[in-house]
Structure 1
Amino acid sequence: MALSRWSCPELAREAVTHGVAEAMSASTVWRWLARDAIKPWQYRSWLFPRDPDFATKAGRVLDLYERRWEGKQLGRGEYVISSDEKTSIQARCRCHPSLAPGQARMMRVNHEYDRGGAVAYLAAYDVSRARVFGRCAPSTGIVPFMALVEQVMTGEPYASAKRVFWVVDNGSSHRGNAAIDRLAARFGNAVMVHTPVHASWLNQVEIFFSVVQRKVVSPNDFTNLDEVKQRLAEFEKRYNATAKPFQWKFTRRDLHDLLARISEHER
């Protein structure tokens, strides 16, 4: 096949070429595809879980979102933090000023820009309290991540908490048992919990980052990195003043169903 993605006219021509019908219109093909909800011109990427402990690790995270740990309900003085980094937020200074939206006209942003550098935004999101703690750094790494941990854990209510669970992915800033031990050595009441490999979608802070992308970063039109940092700090204050916890609905039952469907594909 010469094509990997097909349009209705292309499918109609292919059907005639192979003798499926003497004549066929694109609209006929469209009706057939619409009837069966098939869209050969679209595709989406997805990953098969390759972590041998995927179900166990994912289940632990989902339990924490329901305030359970090792079969027991979390009590007062126990908190769940979801944390990660949003890398390489650029300062793009447009070569011509952006035009504000007008009547029946969208905002216009010039395509050309000068690069003003990039910054990483690290954030920790309290799942139950819907409170965000963020900071900017030139890049990601162990030192910037531990600075974020220090920022959160030295303030109340976390400094005097019984336990604070930190849900993180497997990025290099907080990967493996070394990161678990490093966190526990610095703060005895902190417990690091990793999502499975390639399962950052289980980390609730990614939802917050999607909000940041839509409401703060896009369209990217910043004079310099200081302006980026200021906008992030101002948004963080605004968010914390009004935010409510995310309505997380993915449960262990959903996890079981998902893994069952994936298992069917592997057969």
Structure 2
Amino acid sequence: MANRPAPALEIGEKDRAELERWTRSSSVPAGLAQRARIVLLAGAGHSNTETAARVGVSRPTVIAWRERYLHRGLAGLVDEPRSGRPRVVDRAKVIAATLLPPPKKYGVRHWSTRLLARHLKIADATVAAVWREAGIQPWRAESFRFSTDPELVAKVTDVVGLYLNPPENAIVLSIDEKSQIQALDRTQPVLPTQPHLIERRSHDYVRHGTTTLFAALEIATGKVTAACKPRHRQTEFLTFLRQVARAYPDDGTGRELHLVMDNYAAHKAPTVKAWLAANPRIVVHFTPTHASWMNLVEVWFSIIERQTIHRGTYGSVKDLNAKIRQFIDGWNDRAHPFVWTKTADQILKKANRQTTSNAEH
């Protein structure tokens, strides 16, 4: 005997509007939206079999939700609270496990959300939520190094004092060299920027050689005196120092040149020391070891790297040197001073930390 088709459900206008909202909403649970579709199809007169086929569920499921709506209305479609105490994740346990290295059997250096979740037998989304709340990022790592210079305090105070309160009638220059700048030429022409397209270049290149950029940044104005040399030795550095001295000649008032430099060996070579001794108006200030970031010319090096060197293509070292000189000429036309803001006390407060390792091992 064939099953008689179930009569159409009677759905009030208010309930129908709410059911339709459930089927459209992205914030409603998928199960609830599915039940709303079942009831709406049943209310439109579709049979249980046809409704089941359209929604992708079994016929008994359609019958069950029809009955729930028939007897309890919209409230019958909503999941009822489950009995028993809700599961509570031990947040402290997750954090403690994260901060410990993974067991050797996993063969990894740090946890991932899925691996830790598997280890703790919880959901990986739970691990991710705990990490976000606690600000833990095991997949990231940064490098650091504390200065071991025995004259750290004196050098920081000296250099920062020079930046913040330079001697009267003196010129302060930040000097360094950017070595091994490569003259790279792409194997295919660079495709320029277009609307909705960024600049594109081939990944392979031809290397035509390298150059070394010597630069002296005048702190007060931001102007740069520079030279490109094929080598990076004390000979080239001494030649550059003579160029700087000529760029800032003695005007008869005893004007001093104060040079801020790092501890590279060429800066302390015997020939350089002898030349400095013969030119007493030039005073050298060394940054602490492992603290070349205190040399302001490094800021300018980062600018020329981003704006010219990295994005350029060069058919030869001569071409590279010409592009560097072109940038320097343009820079000096629009130069601006670099303002140092940190005091010596602020720097030393972070620098004087407990020793964590021996840098000489």
Q: Which residue of 1 aligns with 2:256?
A: 163
Deviation readout 1:202-252 (Å, 9 max, x if unpaired): 100000000011011112421111111111101111111112111221211
Q: Which residue of 2 aligns with 1:149?
A: 241
Q: Distance in 2 between matches of 1:44 and 1:158?
A: 46
Q: Which residue of 1 aligns with 2:18?
A: none
Distance change (3 Å), C-alpha of 1:65 and 1:13: same
Q: Which residue of 1 aligns with 2:165?
A: 67
Instruction: Give the alignment of 1:177-256 within 5 angstroms.
Output: 178=270, 181-256=273-348
**Structure 2 stretches lacking a partner, 5+ long:** 1-101
More helix by share: 2
Instruction: Give the alignment of 1:59-138 within 5 angstroms.
Output: 59-68=157-166, 74-76=167-169, 78-138=170-230
Out of 140, 143, 167, which is 1:42 matched to? 140
More strand by share: 1
Q: Distance in 1 between matches of 2:263 and 2:154?
A: 15
Question: TM-score normalized by structure 2?
Answer: 0.65
1:263 aligns with 2:357: no
Q: Distance in 1 between matches of 2:296 and 2:304?
A: 13
Q: Which residue of 2 aligns with 1:15?
A: 120
**Matched letter for residue 4 of structure 1:** R
State the structure with bigger RCO (CA 8 A, min sep 6), 1 or 2. 1
- What SS is found at the alignment partner of 2:247? coil
Give the % identical residues.
27
**Matched letter for residue 219 of structure 1:** R
- What SS is found at the alignment partner of 2:354? helix
**Matched letter for residue 62 of structure 1:** V
Q: Distance in 2 between matches of 1:236 and 1:8?
A: 49
1:24 aligns with 2:117: no
Q: Which residue of 2 aligns with 1:174?
A: 267
Q: CA deviation at 1:264?
A: 7.9
Distance change (3 Å), C-alpha of 1:222 and 1:11: farther
Out of 134, 154, 172, which is 1:56 matched to? 154
Distance change (3 Å), C-alpha of 1:143 and 1:107: same
Q: Distance in 2 between matches of 1:159 and 1:172?
A: 31
Q: CA deviation at 1:184?
A: 2.1
- Indicate the RMSD between aligned Cα atoms, in angstroms: 2.0
Q: Distance in 2 between matches of 1:66 and 1:127?
A: 10
Distance change (3 Å), C-alpha of 1:264 and 1:47: closer
Deviation readout 1:49-92 (Å, 9 max, x if unpaired): 11111121121111110124xxxxx112x111110010111111
**Matched letter for residue 154 of structure 1:** R
Deviation readout 1:18-58 (Å, 9 max, x if unpaired): xxxxx212x32222112122211111111021111112112
Distance change (3 Å), C-alpha of 1:183 and 1:159: farther
Q: Distance in 2 between matches of 1:158 and 1:58?
A: 28
Q: CA deviation at 1:158?
A: 5.5
- What SS is found at the alignment partner of 2:351? helix
Distance change (3 Å), C-alpha of 1:42 and 1:229: same
Q: CA deviation at 1:110?
A: 0.8
Question: TM-score normalized by structure 1?
Answer: 0.87
Deviation readout 1:143-181 (Å, 9 max, x if unpaired): 1111211111113455655211111111122037x4773
Which structure's CA Rg is the greater one?
2
Q: Distance in 1 between matches of 2:145 and 2:186?
A: 36
Q: Distance in 1 between matches of 2:339 and 2:151?
A: 26
